[in-house]
Amino acid sequence: MALSPSLICLLRGARLKCPACGRGHLFTAYLKQAPECDACGAPTGEIAAEDGPPWLTVLMLGPLLAALTFIAARHETWPLWIRLAGLGAFAVGAVLVMLPRVKGGLIGALWTMRAKD
């Protein structure tokens, strides 16, 4: 099965790699974009994801966290403070893991739609 070029760029970005070549790093820090790819020189820093990554992260994790909240509310064998602390820790951890990957995927998707000179 051959993947479309757009999907390949999105997946490369979600792996935090350059959407053009898939080898260079997309970020220099947690969410700080590199101005250009360190492997191929593609100007990936020109792609601005703006507010899309936080919005998409909430959209993706919200239903899961809502479901886990209802499950935890019905699971009364554990004390409330353990359920709340566990849910809070899971929510923070999931956001910290997902946010750079969502930003990378969005940058990869936008890379395929950029204006070509």
| Contacts to Zn ion by CB under 5 A | 18, 20-21, 24, 37, 39-40, 42
Question: Among residues 49, 56, 60, 59, which one has the least CA distance to residue 109?
Answer: 49
Minimum CB separation of residue 31 from Zn ion in Å reads 19
Minimum CB separation of residue 73 from Zn ion in Å reads 46
Provide the total of helices (H) and of strands (E) in the chain, helices listed first: 3, 0
Nearer to Zn ion, 9 or 98 (CB): 9
Nearer to Zn ion, 19 or 53 (CB): 19
Minimum CB separation of residue 46 from Zn ion in Å reads 13
Minimum CB separation of residue 21 from Zn ion in Å reads 3
What is the Rg, in whole angstroms, of the alpha carbon atoms belonging to the chain? Answer: 18
Nearer to Zn ion, 8 or 65 (CB): 8
CA gap 56, 62 in Å, rounded: 10
Contacts of 112 (CB under 8 A, 6+ apart): 5, 6, 9, 10, 19
